[in-house]
Amino acid sequence: MKKQSNWVSASKVGRAAFCPHYLELAQKGAKVSDKAKAARIKGDAGHDQLNKLAEDKRCYVASHLYGVDDRRTQLLRGFRDQHLKNNLPGKVFINVYYRLSPLLISVASAFPALNKPLLYVVNGLVLKLDKAKNND
């Protein structure tokens, strides 16, 4: 005689959030209808599309210097998304940047004289990215 397990996986608990009867039906051996399967596929596709549209707006230093939606800030975000995220050193850089840059911005906000050297460095990077983009 097979002993029944009473534990429920986190995935099943998550599904129960969308269908309160899911766990009860699953325990009774109910089958998922074709209509429900199609709805889930459509919902998953919509969710994936929404995730692709959701933009990572973090770019603390550029946002501080230029503004969140400035062309230069968007250029830096594009470089992050298209180049840095695709390799291990780039991912490490992004991780370190996200940890340190909020502190840097806090200090720069308290001591505005730091904005000038920050602007010099970031402007230099933006110029290089602009040149590289125009050469493509």
Report the C-alpha gap between 9 and 16 in whole angstroms. 11
For residue 99, what pLDDT band results from cuts at 50, 70 and 90? very high
Which residue ranges make up each domain of the chain?
Answer: 10-53, 60-135
pLDDT tens-digit profile of 33-49? 888 888 888 888 877 76
pLDDT the model gives residue 54: 58
Whether 73 has a pLDDT exceeding 80, the answer reads: yes
Mean pLDDT of 61-85: 93
Give the residue, 121 or 2, on which the prediction is more confident. 121
- The answer to whether the predicted template modeling score (pTM) of the entire model surpasses 0.75 is no
Task: Decide if pLDDT at 105 tops 90.
Answer: yes
Chain center to CA of 117: 29
Is the pLDDT score of 17 beyond 90?
no
Indicate whether 11 pLDDT > 70.
Answer: yes
> Over 90: is that where the pLDDT of 19 sits?
no
Q: Concatenate the DSSP letters of all residues of the chain into one string.
A: -PPPP----HHHHHHHHH-TTHHHHHHHTPPPPHHHHHHHHHHHHHHHHHHHH------HHHHHHH-TT-HHHHHHHHHHHHTGGGSHHHHHHHHHHHHHHHHHHHHHHH-GGGHHHHHHHHHHHHHHHHHHHHH-
Q: How many Å from the N-terminal Cα to the C-terminal Cα in the chain?
A: 69
